[in-house]
Chains A and B, each alone.
Chain A
Amino acid sequence: MIQIHVLQGAALVWSAEDAREIRERFRLVGTLVGALARKPRQNTRLGLPLQLLPEEARLLAELGEAILVRSTETQPLAEGEELNQASEVEAYKQELEESYQEQQRLAGAERGALLARLADHIAEGRARRRQERGEAPDAGEDLGLLDSPFILPRGSMMVQLPTARCHSGRIERVDWTSPSPDWPHANCPAHEARYHVFRELWDRGYYLSGGSKFGGDFLVYPGDPLRFHAHYIALCCPPGAPLPLCALVAAARLGTSVKKTVLLCSPSPSGTVAFTSLQWSGLQ
């Protein structure tokens, strides 16, 4: 079961396996919004969390493949949980100590290997220095270097900053059918219209992503967005709402100039969606 964490109306996926499954199995793209762990100070490639459109999150919840959860970490601890807390702290300190010992052992072993590799160099250098100083050569001292115990300073220990929560924290389930401060999209007419259009296009096998870059509601791809350019710009027009001609001309012009077809989508109350595509043609 995929866990989608909602935070102030945004649906975030923190687990890497879940993010992969969402893209591969469910054809949902989403946007990565966090810093990439290896190269955090750049904007071209971002990392986890994966932010899903509200329509994508609702689709997964409707399919029964995901649940929407909310964190209750900031609420004060209940009685029984304080003992849990103390034991967690103990466990963490234990882990830290074990990690430190392991790192010390590995660092010591590496240092020993390095010294063994450079032993001849070191011996040469020492002999030369002793000659310059005018002392007698002493063969017994060379081995002493490798025997001194190596202490890894605590400050240079490596610690891990996990992205997703390590142990399951305090979370509570969010009902996506009723509006709440963390999930305000439920029962919102604009969201319902968009969701109908989204579901219809997704059922036909397309990949969909946000369309704000091209002035529409969704961008429709025939395959994975990493391999294809978008074919359609989907604009949701609620049935019965007036559509000013200026807006239509603006959308059509934009679509022609970026070589995409504008798709006007209108969900009807019966559940079906009517699609109209705009194409720039000649006089006929």
Chain B
Amino acid sequence: MGFTEHGKQCLLPEEALYLLECGSIQLFYRDLPLSIQEAYEILLSQGTVSLLQYQVFSHLKRLGYIVLRFCPSVVPSQYERKLNLDSYCKSTGKRHHKRKRSSSPRLQDKKQKVSGNPLEAPGTPEKASESCGDPKKPASGESCLSEKSKESDPASREGQSSQVATDAVQLSKSPSHSQAKTGDQAAGNSCSGTHPSRWDFTRIAFPNMASDCPHTFLSQPDKTLLPENVAGREADATRWCKLVNQKREKLTRKEQAQQERESRYKSSVNADREVRRCSNWQEYKALLKQRSQHRAGRRPSHLWDQPVTPLVKPDQVASAAAVLKQISVLQPSHILDGASRLQEDMAGMKIDFSVYQADAVANFKKNDPGKPYARMCARRFDEPIPSLRVMKRLAYQSEDVPVVFALVDNGEIAFYSFKEFKLPVDTY
């Protein structure tokens, strides 16, 4: 695939080596053509691509798959997909300049991508104004925002968040500390050149406007978050907080009929006077507990006063499935349970490549690859099996694409993956 830097087409080292082995290109270093042996020794090193990773890469390429390096910052998170932000980011990708074919192909050093981005940022306002005027894009305001956002700005955002309520800061600070490392890595990562910058929601602190938060003074938002001709200012939100939920809801005729039907059989929880008296969850739960204890006063003594008591109560369960769930010892768990709270350190295990299906070549676009077929982790065969913590972290990074381990044993490659399945539950 390669990437374009300053208008010239550059190749990643593993791609260059693969094309050399296929006989499609010739590589020159210090004015001399490289033999395959020399190319192996020069291009494969600990800093770029290791021999192990290259063997997996070339194996998959020879099978026909499309193999790209994995960038964790570019994977749309679940939150972004929920907001449908990933489709906006794709549609506002940078305009494609025509590749300039230079007459003297020279093997240049790979410059850091960070130096590339700030230089291009002043150039984007002109493009942003043009794309905002494009009638095809419905939410053009948001698309301008996403083009201008930078991801290497943790200090100013954390400074801003300290003015807002403390519990909001705690929510954003703990993931931001663990994500700070990935942020730096992502900023210095050389493979995110062709993708537009993304919002990093773990570092943008949204103020807490709920009724449990007494702070209603909103400070001025960070200038980097706003479009250029919009000025942010401070606001006092007390008036708005008072107005929330004041208006009566106007229902349509269909909704009114539905409500009437429901009122015959269902009763609203809020209709209960004692429930309305509760002002927060704690009091409501205490009320529920009190009520259940009342009901429990009717328990038969020969069952409930013995040292061994029944496991379920008749009113607690309505079906066989509920009974089984109540008495089960092992709880079903999913690989992603608690994965977001895990720290970054994974003993060096990381996902190396994203593999895309071979038959999607006709539809494959570099800026919009779509969902990969699998994500590869290239390891040596004699390494120990990864722990559950590492597996959770990898599954979390991969976001619902299966993770496959490519184990290399002195030249022979075998693919292993963990499959998740649920034990069958006998209910009907």
Contacts and interface: CB of A to CB of B under 8 A. Distances in A.
Interface of A: 5, 7-8, 10, 12, 14, 30-35, 37, 40-43, 48-49, 51-54, 71, 73-74, 85, 88-89, 92, 159, 161-166, 169, 181, 190, 210, 212-213
Contact of B410 (A31, A35, A85, A163): A31
B35 A164 contact: yes
A57 B18 CA distance: 26
Contacts of B411: 10, 30-33, 51, 210
Contact of B32 (A35, A42, A89, A163): A89
A42 B62 contact: yes
B33 A92 contact: yes
Nearest to A41: B62
Contacts of A30: 411
B38 A73 contact: yes
Given A49-B40, A73-B38, A33 B22 contact: no
Contacts of B414: 212-213
A284 B58 CA distance: 51
Nearest to A52: B410
B167 interface: no
A48 to B, nearest CB: 8
10 contacts: A8-B45, A30-B411, A41-B22, A42-B62, A43-B59, A48-B36, A49-B40, A85-B32, A166-B35, A212-B409
Nearest to B46: A8
A89 B31 contact: yes
A165 B23 CA distance: 16
A34 B33 CA distance: 19
Nearest to A164: B37
Given A7-B41, A159-B33, A166-B35, 9 more contacts: A8-B52, A10-B410, A41-B22, A89-B30, A89-B32, A161-B23, A162-B35, A163-B35, A213-B412
In this complex, the interface size class of chain B, counting residues with CB under 8 Å from chain A, is: 35 or more
Contacts of B64: 41
B410 A210 contact: yes
A32 to B, nearest CB: 8
Given A40-B62, A212-B412, A35 B22 contact: yes
A77 to B, nearest CB: 8
Main DSSP-derived SS at the B contact region: mixed
B412 A40 contact: no
B91 interface: no
Contacts of A32: 411
Interface in B366-396: 381-382
Nearest to B50: A8
Contacts, number: 102
B200 to A, nearest CB: 34
Contacts of B224: none
B55 A33 contact: yes
Contacts of B18: 35
B21 A40 contact: yes
B412 A210 contact: yes
B392 to A, nearest CB: 26
Interface string B18-57: 1011110010001111011110111011100011100100
A49 B22 contact: no
Nearest to B407: A212
Contacts of B36: 34, 48, 161-164
Interface in B208-242: none
A205 B294 CA distance: 85
A51 B62 contact: no
B119 interface: no
Contacts of B407: 212
Most chain A CB atoms below 10 A, which of B45, B407, B411:
B411
A74 B410 contact: no
A35 B35 CA distance: 13
Contacts of B45: 8, 74
Most chain B CB atoms below 10 A, which of A12, A35, A41:
A35
B410 A53 contact: yes
Contacts of B35: 161-166
Nearest to A38: B23
B23 A40 contact: yes
B205 to A, nearest CB: 44
Nearest to A47: B21
Contacts of B58: 35
Contacts of B50: 8
B243 interface: no
Nearest to B27: A161
B206 to A, nearest CB: 46
